[in-house]
Structures are given as structure tokens and as C-alpha cells.
Amino acid sequence: MQRLTKRWRAEHRTVGFVPTMGALHQGHVSLIERARRENDRVIVSIFVNPTQFGPKEDYLRYPRPFATDCRLVQAAGGDALFAPSVAAMSPGGDPLVWVTVRNLSETLCGPFRPGHFRGVATVVAKLFSLVQPHRAYFGEKDYQQFIIIQRMVRELHLPIRVVPCLTVRAADGLALSSRNSYLAPRERMEAGKLYQALRWGAYRFCHPDRAAGARRILRQILAEMRAILATIPHVRIDYVSAVHPETLQPLSLARCPALLAVAVWIGRTRLIDNIVVG
């Protein structure tokens, strides 16, 4: 991988990079296509990273349709597919060196997935070292991940531009995700309510009841979003939050800019989504 990238760089080719865990869908395709438009060469990685899964999470059952993924990468314009083994990425077993981005990793999904973002940041740092891209592309559906990677690149002075890309959604607004395949048909029908809740919250941020006061408005907005999510049968809500889109710290007042973010369990499937207001 490094030899290939070194050769491309010596030829003065710009390199775009799309890191994934496979099970590719149209959201990933949109990242590859954007990288294709903005770079001379495009590399896509597929690596199901064990260090970002908790002990009771879905690492073993995570979908791995490798042949289908290869065809999608080629059709979308990828020049190279990098699919290292776990042993290649961590030759000694569990990593002895970790990358931790404090503060940003401890909000939103952080308390519910201990160690998750440490695993993400560590493996992305390794991939960046191996691929050595000029630009790396991340979907805003995983907004917290994007912000953490962006801060990591800045703090480590890596010569890489982290490019955020808009969330790709189904017709009912559900953000495309590899985990959507876990949903039963009835669960899939109900899952569109995540986006309904976010859209309602964004509307209320932009059309507040000024007489109520910004602090009280924020509590009302989050409660209304929770009420929409609560109509999903057998739902379990991890969080409904309003945070600053750069620091990811909770807001105390209903004011822009804001990131509205939700995480819920529908059956055995955990789904996340967000929307930026302002």
C-alpha cells in the first residue's frame, strides 16, 4: 500500500481516501464518487476493526459481503481497494499504542460505547500512515467520528484534509447504514421516525416560542423529539441531545449553531442520526 501511494505521489497525483468497514451502500458510493471528482487517484479501505466493538456488540455478525463490495468500489471509480487483515494491522495482538481524543470522545455515544472512539482513532491513524492520502472522506451520519478524526489530524499535524460529506438518506429520511440490514421489515418502517424527530427539533430551533425563554425551549424541544421516538414500538432511547457542532458539549440554551443528535435501539439494532441547525 505504501509503495503504491509513494509512486502516485512521485508522479504528482493527488490521492483521495475513503475508509470503510465494508457492507457498502449508496452512502459509501457517494463518498467514493466525490473522492473521484476531487483527486487523481482514489483508495478505498475495508477493515472491520475489532478494537471499536464492545464485548457485547456485533463484531462477529457484522456483514462482510466482500465480493459485492469489490464490485461497488470498481463501479464507483476506486483505483485501489485496501483490505488488510486484523493480524496485519495489529501484529502483536491488542495494540500497545492507542490514540485518544479527549473531551470529544466522552459525549454523545461515548458513555454508551466505552473505548469505541479510541479504537476508531487508533485504526484511522494507522490507515492514514499506510495510505498517506491528501484527502480523506467521511460521512456526516457518523458526525462524532468525523469531528474526532478532524481533531486528531489537527493535533498530530497530519498533512491530510478531512472532508465531511452529507448524509445519504432513504426516501423516508432514514440515514443509510450497514446496520439497517439488521432491521426486520416492521422495524424498518418505524425507523424513519428518527429523521422525523430530528426535522421537528430543527424546525423548533428555527421557530421558537420566544416567550418561553431559551433554556425552557431547549428542554421542550428535546422532550418533543423524545416523544416522537417513543412512538416506535419496543424502542430504547440512549440519548436525545443538543450539542455544539464543534466541541460536542451539551447546549444549555436553544441557540444556533447546534447539532441535534439521537441514538436509539430498535429491537437488537442500534441506530444513530443527527442534523446540524444553523
Same domain, 140 and 9: yes
% the chain with pLDDT above 70: 98
pLDDT of 14 > 60? The answer is yes
Tell which residue, 159, 220, 161, 170, has the closest CA to residue 195.
Answer: 170
Question: What pLDDT is recorded for position 212?
Answer: 67
Answer yes or no: is 171 within a domain. no
Q: Decide if 58 contacts 18 (C-beta within 8 A).
A: no
Q: What is the mean pLDDT of residues 268-272?
A: 97
Q: Is 28 a catalytic residue?
A: yes
pLDDT digits (tens, 9 = 90+) for 193-246: 999 999 999 999 888 776 567 788 999 999 999 999 999 999 999 999 999 999
The active-site residue out of 28, 116, 207, 234 is 28
Q: Decide if 27 contacts 54 (C-beta within 8 A).
A: no
Same domain, 186 and 146: no
pLDDT digits (tens, 9 = 90+) for 28-48: 999 999 999 999 999 999 999
Q: Are strands 235-243 and 258-266 parallel, antiparallel or unpaired?
A: antiparallel
Q: How far is CA 224 from the centre of its chain?
A: 25
Same domain, 160 and 182: no
Please state the pTM of the whole predicted model.
0.95
Answer yes or no: is 47 within a domain. yes
d(CA 199, CA 274): 9
